Amino acid sequence: MSYPVHRPRRLRRTETIRRLVRETVLRPDDLIAPLFVRPGEGIRKPIQAMPGCSQMSVDVILTECRELASLGIPGAILFGLPKGKDASGSAACDPNGPVPAAIRALKTDLPNFLVWADVCLCEYTDHGHCGPLAKGRDGRTDVDNDRTVEALARAAVVYAEAGADVVAPSDMMDGRVGAIRSALDGAGLSDVVIVSYAAKYASAFYGPFREAAESAPAFGDRRGYQMDPANSDEALREVAADLEEGADIVMVKPALAFLDVIHRVKERFGVPVAAYNVSGEYSMLKAAAQNGWIDEERAMLEILVAMKRAGADIILTYFAKEAAKRMK
């Protein structure tokens, strides 16, 4: 008995058929938009290294988030640019700083819009590292882990008290998730979600962000506390530790060069996984499109679908607004 030849092209013939059998579907609900908030009023300062992105004052952030919500995007993550910086990053804990101010405005105007607050000190220290510094036994200057964790916990409580739905520690200090969970619970804020940057790699793809957040290290780099890009087993250990300490969602950052890590994390733990489509991934696509080398819209959607296909439930991306418009 002979059987018909398998002809998969029949299921690719038209867009309607392709949609019918599509395995991975990208939705606006999958996206979170990163935004940069600064002091002032009526400010939208373009970021040269990230075409289409800007530093914005609270009032402009509010307008931006109204548009995001109208497109079906469920939330945004806020990064702050303070009026002043010091060696300890104390402005991160200022309840009147740009991030708490933006949180309060957003939760008043858009109560159902999810507001995430990035929890790190790099935007607030005058040296650009992710916490206060100390001399080690070998004489080298490094970030003081325990002092940093204490400051991160205080900052997380400030953001949560302002109304943040989610706090997202991105520092890669040891023990910070447990300290933040304990601080939130102690302040009666146990319903606040922790999204841990559990596997954050020391990546070359962060360059444009450091212009956007004005957070480039004044010396050295962050390889002493962020992960080695060569390691994936280590990522699983980091995720396991953060879940044990109380993380609700875990994140892999960057996304595009670490799709295998996203997949391994999802397969191993089965918890909600976020992927951060970082600034360098965004900017290189923008640059290629501006030079006519690539179809920006198709490449953008292909990259975002790849992240979801790898296992990401949530994608933080500077393409959020553009992508959501294409899904309408």
Show contacts of 226-233: CB within 8 Å, 24+ apart.
Answer: 226/172, 226/200, 226/201, 226/202, 227/172, 227/199, 227/200, 227/201, 227/202, 228/201, 228/202, 229/201, 229/202, 229/203, 229/257, 229/258, 232/260, 232/261, 232/264
Burial string for 208-219 (b: 16+ CB within 10 Å, else e) reads: bbbbbbbbeeee
Is residue 124 within 8 Å of 82, Cβ to Cβ? yes
State yes or no: is 85 an active-site residue: no
Catalytic annotation, pick one of 200, 266, 286, 308: 200
Give the sign of the dihedral formed by CA 277, CA 282, CA 288, CA 294. Answer: positive
Q: Which residue type, as a one-letter code, is found at position 130?
A: C
Nearest to residue 92, comparing CAs of 118, 114, 115?
A: 118
Question: Considering 85, 253, 266, 286, which one is annotated as catalytic?
Answer: 253
Strand runs (DSSP E) across 17-138, as ranges? Answer: 31-37, 44-46, 54-56, 75-80, 114-119, 133-135
Give the CA angle between residues 169, 309, 206 to the nearest 5°: 40
Owner of token pair 């900017």: 283
Cβ partners under 8 Å of residue 69, min gap 6: 110, 112, 113
CB burial readout 259-285, b (16+ within 10 A) else e: bebbbbbbeeeeebbbbbbbbbbbbeb
Concerning whether 325 is annotated as a catalytic residue, the answer is: no
Cα separation of 148 and 132, whole Å?
Answer: 6
For residues 25 and 204, what is the distance between their CA atoms, to the nearest angstrom? 29
Q: Catalytic site residues?
A: 200, 253
